[in-house]
Amino acid sequence: MSSAQRAWEWFVGKVIRLSGAMAIVFVILIFAFLLRDALPLLRSASLREILLGDTWLPTSEPPKFGMLPLVLGSLYVTVGALIIAVPLGLATAAFISEVAPRWIQEILKPTVEVLASIPSVVFGFLGLLLVGPWLMELLDLPLPVFAGLGSLMLAFMAMPTIVSVAEDAIRSVPTALRENSLALGATRWQTIRRVVIPAARSGIIAGTLLGLGRAIGETMTVLMVTGNAAVIPEGLVGILRPVRTLTATIAGEMGETAYATPHYHALFMIGLILFVITFLTNTIADIAVRRSGGVAQ
Amino acid sequence: MSALPRTSPKVSQAVAFALLWIAAVVVIVPVAAILAIMLLKGGKGLSWELISSVEEGLLPAIAGTAALVALTALISAPFGIAAAVYLSEYARAGTLVRLIRLAIVNLAGVPSVVYGLFGLALFVTLLQLGRCLLAAACTMALLVLPLVITASEEALRQVPRRLREASLALGATRWQTIRKVVLPNALPGIITGLILSVGRAAGETAPILFTGAFYGLTHPFPRSLGDPFVALTYKLFVDATEFPHVEEAEKWATAAVLVALVVAMNLAAAVFRARLRRARRW
Amino acid sequence: MSSDANLPIKKPEGEIKLETHDLSLYYDGFHALKNISVYIPARRITALIGPSGCGKSSFLRCFNRMNDLIQSARVTGEVLIDGANVYDRTTDVAALRKRVGMVFQTPNPFPMSIYDNVAYGPRLHGIRERSALDEVVEKSLRGAALWDEVKDTLRKSALDLSGGQQQRLSIARVLAVEPEVLLMDEPCSALDPTATFKIEELMIELMENYTIVIVTHNMYQASRVSQYTGFFLLGDLIEYGDTVQIFENPKDQRTDDYVRGRFG
């Protein structure tokens, strides 16, 4: 090997190694930039006012940056979405991998994939023009946009994630465990419920967490169908009233905000909160996925 | 055997399986209904005029989306493939790889609107690109990067080890082996993954909201990377929420075109992949 | 010694627990078991030997209908337990498998505690009371000669046990559902000699109360533990009879070749 060749080999190796670490660099960069543009907000309001304040009026005089209504709005919509998506998603995953005849599997799997690929703005559009008005009439609601509608649309968006991760986990449970259970006189359902699902538990938890991350971070759908009223939702009936989520606030307001104003920093603060929440859920989910890989051995 | 009266396992199984069937139906039916309604309503509003008209039609949005997707692919591919080559060919299991994988998972989980904020802060403001096609594509490239890395790595790992060993045994260096043997064999798989990943870019709205997408442009088509643009997703969003005078048929047509485009990209990748599997000789 | 036609099957003396008549098994088009007729005596150990792929495991799995799990498998003929056909349309398969327990080639503890593994079957079949479960668990673990080793660690994960302990746990798990028959599919193939010896001892103890059918690759094992032996070759039951006779005085040339280690 000539020395030029050796130098080239060395250089390429370095470049590729650097690229490898790029993902880490970008996570840190995103965090740093959010921090940089979020922290100046603390000059306009205290952390306590920001996190616990119940009024979000960023353009009034003086502005109020209470994010509690937004946090609760996100919580309402997300929890609602999970209540629909988790049981349905897990049932579908169990159905696909354990119960369905092959031809049904072949319909269901691509259906879930198509569902995953439909853009969020299309879900918002459908909610706004089709499902919302229909539910308003059906339930006799004052408005066609409300928290529960966001939950419903989000549920269908988070479901593919839940289904595919949970299905992988269920599939990786060794066949021998199923056989052992059946050989002890268990029915197929007893085997699924008592052996397969417990063995796939970590993967199922991971799928749920990833679905949760997806639902919290979803933007366009909730921006379009939840009504965007920054009020603290009250009780159960709150799901039938408009709310505003963290993501929708950023998407709805950043367009009209001047650079480096307190409002601008406030929107970055929201971004920072979202980043931290999704970072935590994804990291925990990742650990759970790794653990479920251990069970399969 | 048991003193307690209880439901027979047979009956619980029948009930449980019935519920699972219902769950599957609850998933399939709405999706099928949505696609059907979309085709029906969108098809009615769809005309060649609507698609091809520059002033009233979808052409600028289609062109904008196409430009965005192409540029996103161009930017994300080299970085993503290089990172994948590192993970599959250079890296040894350890803390660094563990951290990289965790970072990839987290990048994939960052909400798209947060990518929008990051793009605004870095590309639009700090690097002074302004709100334009390039800034939007850079933002989008970052968003699809974890997908590109994951898909490319999978394609690289499909290349059998004996091909690498054969090349190394002939005295090729590591990089020569990668460039002459591994990458060419993995290329079809990488391209499939790339199509699927950048397909995401066609469907995303939030990251381009404040990095380059506009409505009612003086120049409907971007003339350079520094121009703002309109995308299908963005147009659908604005039409649906801010311009009630746009005819409903047109909105449905826009939505149908968008869904058709995204589903078509997925189908293309699926077909491509199926062919690949059949053609593979190892 | 003849080697052309299969020898007529002699009915062993005493009580018969399992029998098959003209049993055939097909995977898609492949004829995996060919018209097998056999009588398996109660409370004895019957060994099934033969080279791999000869159909002995498939045969074993007919008695508890585990072949049902393979979609392409089709069965003709009769399999009787206490004179009743297990392939009858009205058979409750779960109830059948409770009567006919099975120990697999590799131990497969469920990813739960030792206690929960053993209590799994009884719970399935409706036992809920703590005291009753405790009793079954202890009895089964004692029956599987594992109690003394694990009585203080019942709450620990079964995955932490050694291979031999895991296999005895699998046996305890089967005993806990109080079966009448124990099918063992090469239960020692994944174990070291010491663990194998323990399982063999255990089988001889269990013979008092259970009808045991064991598939084994190991001819010495078959000759050590069983009273009856069947030799399978390419889906045929070549010879079946008293173990001593099969090993010392086989009537078929192929059996002779196999037990003398000329092929396999």
Whether residue A124 and residue B19 make contact (CB cut-off 8 A), yes or no, is no
Q: Which residue of C has its CA nearest to A295?
A: C111
The contacts found for B260-265 with CB under 8 angstroms, 24 or more apart, are B261/B62, B261/B65, B261/B202, B261/B232, B262/A117, B262/A118, B262/A119, B262/B199, B262/B202, B262/B203, B263/A114, B263/A117, B263/A118, B265/A117, B265/B195, B265/B196, B265/B199, B265/B202
Mutate to test the interface with B, among C97, C128, C130 (most CBs of B within 10 A): C128
The whole-angstrom distance between B8's CA and the closest CA on chain C is 9
Report the number of distinct structural domains present in chain B: 1
Among A13, A118, A210, whose Cβ lies nearest the Cβ of B175? Answer: A13
Q: Which residue of B has its CA nearest to A206?
A: B105
* Touching subunits for chain A (3+ Cβ pairs under 8 A): B, C
Residue A44 Cα distances to A189, A275, C15, angstroms: 59, 22, 92
Q: Is the pLDDT of residue A95 over 70?
A: yes
Higher pLDDT among residues A94 and B269, named by residue: A94
Q: Is residue C170 part of a domain?
A: no
Cβ atoms of A275 and B114 within 8 Å: the answer is yes
Of B104, B190, B186, nearest to B142 by C-alpha is B104
Q: Is the pLDDT of residue A139 over 60?
A: yes
pLDDT-derived band at A295 (thresholds 50, 70, 90) equals: very low
Q: Which residue of C has its CA nearest to A202?
A: C111
The whole-angstrom distance between A52's CA and the closest CA on chain B is 22
Among C92, C94, C127, whose Cβ lies nearest the Cβ of B2? Answer: C127
> What does the pLDDT read at residue A230?
81
Cβ atoms of A133 and A144 within 8 Å: the answer is yes
Mean pLDDT, chain A, integer = 89
For C36-45, the pLDDT digits (tens) are: 999 999 999 9
For C9-52, the pLDDT digits (tens) are: 677 778 899 999 999 999 988 899 999 999 999 999 999 999 88
pLDDT profile of chain B (282 residues), mean per 10: 63 91 89 85 80 78 92 95 93 89 92 95 90 93 94 91 85 86 90 89 91 79 83 90 80 90 86 74 53
Nearest 5 degrees, angle CA A205-CA A207-CA A210? 110
Q: Does A179 touch chain C if contact means CB atoms closer than 8 Å? A: yes
Q: Which residues of B touch A21 (CB under 8 A)?
A: 96, 100
For C99-142, the pLDDT digits (tens) are: 999 999 888 899 889 999 999 999 988 888 999 999 999 999 99
Of C238, C236, C230, C184, nearest to C25 by C-alpha is C236
For A170-229, the pLDDT digits (tens) are: 998 999 999 999 999 999 999 999 999 999 988 898 889 889 988 999 999 999 999 888
Q: How far apart are CA B16 and CA B274, in angstroms?
A: 35
The whole-angstrom distance between A186's CA and the closest CA on chain C is 6
Among C106, C111, C123, whose Cβ lies nearest the Cβ of A198? Answer: C111
Q: How far apart are CA B201 and CA B234, in angstroms?
A: 12
**Is B104 buried (19+), middle (13-18) or exposed (0-12) by CB count in 10 A?**
buried
Q: What is the mean pLDDT of residues C219-234?
A: 92
Q: Which residues of C touch B3 (CB under 8 A)?
A: 129
Q: What is the CATH number of the domain that holds B132?
A: 1.10.3720.10
CB contact residues (below 8 A), chain C span 112-171, against chain A:
112, 120-121, 123-125, 170
Q: Is the pLDDT of residue C1 over 70?
A: no
Q: Which residues of C touch B2 (CB under 8 A)?
A: 125-128
Whether residue A30 and residue B118 make contact (CB cut-off 8 A), yes or no, is yes
Mutate to test the interface with C, among A99, A172, A184 (most CBs of C within 10 A): A184
Of B103, B116, B124, B123, nearest to B143 by C-alpha is B116
Q: Does C70 touch chain A if contact means CB atoms closer than 8 Å? A: no
Q: Which residues of A touch C121 (CB under 8 A)?
A: 184-186
Q: Does A174 touch chain C if contact means CB atoms closer than 8 Å? A: yes
Q: Which residues of C touch A198 (CB under 8 A)?
A: 110-112
Q: Is residue C205 part of a domain?
A: yes
Q: How far apart are CA B223 and CA A17, in angstroms?
A: 37
Q: Is residue B32 part of a domain?
A: no
Q: Which helix (H) or strand (E) holds C74?
A: strand C73-81
Q: Which residues of C touch A181 (CB under 8 A)?
A: 110, 120
Among A179, A185, A187, whose Cβ lies nearest the Cβ of C121? Answer: A185
Strand residues in chain A grouped as ranges (E): 56-57, 64-65
> What does the pLDDT read at residue A296?
36
> What does the pLDDT read at residue A277?
93
> What does the pLDDT read at residue B282?
52
Q: Does A296 touch chain C if contact means CB atoms closer than 8 Å? A: no
Q: Does B17 touch chain A if contact means CB atoms closer than 8 Å? A: yes
Residue C226, CB-side half-sphere exposure with 13 Å CA sphere? 31
* Touching subunits for chain B (3+ Cβ pairs under 8 A): A, C
Q: Is residue C199 part of a domain?
A: yes
Q: Is residue B133 part of a domain?
A: yes
Q: Is residue C218 part of a domain?
A: yes
Q: Chain A to chain C, count of Cβ pairs less than 8 Å apart?
A: 63
> What does the pLDDT read at residue A293?
54
The whole-angstrom distance between B2's CA and the closest CA on chain C is 5
Task: Centre a 10 Å sphere on the Cβ of residue C189 and count the other Cβ atoms it contains.
Answer: 15
Q: Does B109 touch chain A if contact means CB atoms closer than 8 Å? A: yes
Share of chain A above pLDDT 90, in %: 48
Q: Which residue of C has its CA nearest to A186?
A: C94
Mutate to test the interface with B, among C91, C124, C127 (most CBs of B within 10 A): C127
Q: Is the pLDDT of residue C231 over 50?
A: yes
**Residues C132-166: b if buried by 16+ CB within 10 A, e if exposed:** ebeebbbbbbebbbbbebbeeebeeebbebeebbb
Q: Which residue of C has its CA nearest to A191?
A: C124
Q: Which residue of B has its CA nearest to C93?
A: B10
What DSSP character marks residue C234?
T
Among C94, C99, C104, whose Cβ lies nearest the Cβ of A180? Answer: C104
Query: Is the alpha carbon torsion for A169, A170, A175, A176 positive or negative?
Result: positive
For A219-266, the pLDDT digits (tens) are: 999 999 998 888 888 877 788 888 999 999 999 889 888 888 999 999
Strand residues in A66-136 grouped as ranges (E): none
Q: Does C173 touch chain A if contact means CB atoms closer than 8 Å? A: yes
Task: Centre a 10 Å sphere on the Cβ of residue A257 and count the other Cβ atoms it contains.
Answer: 18
> What does the pLDDT read at residue B167?
85
- The domain in which residue C227 lies consists of 16-108+179-259
Q: Which residues of A touch C95 (CB under 8 A)?
A: 185
Q: Is residue C34 part of a domain?
A: yes
**C-alpha dihedral over A206, A212, A213, A217, to 10 degrees?**
170
Backbone torsions φ then ψ of C231, nearest 5 degrees? -110, 120
SS3 A141: coil
> What does the pLDDT read at residue C7?
58
Whether residue A34 and residue B118 make contact (CB cut-off 8 A), yes or no, is yes
Whether residue B102 and residue A259 make contact (CB cut-off 8 A), yes or no, is no
Q: Is residue C129 part of a domain?
A: no
Q: What is the CATH number of the domain that holds C221?
A: 3.40.50.300
Q: How far apart are CA B68 and CA B134, in angstroms?
A: 8
Whether residue A99 and residue B202 make contact (CB cut-off 8 A), yes or no, is no
Whether residue A186 and residue C94 make contact (CB cut-off 8 A), yes or no, is yes
Could you tell me the two tokens for B200? Answer: 């995401």
> What does the pLDDT read at residue B27?
87
* Touching subunits for chain C (3+ Cβ pairs under 8 A): A, B
Q: Which residue of C has its CA nearest to A183?
A: C97
* DSSP-assigned beta bridge partners for residue C113: C157
Residue C17, CB-side half-sphere exposure with 13 Å CA sphere? 21
Q: Which helix (H) or strand (E) holds A49?
A: helix A47-52
> What does the pLDDT read at residue C116?
94
Q: Which residue of B has its CA nearest to C178?
A: B1
Cβ atoms of C137 and C175 within 8 Å: the answer is no
> What does the pLDDT read at residue B8?
84
Report the number of distinct structural domains present in chain C: 1
- The domain in which residue B243 lies consists of 45-279
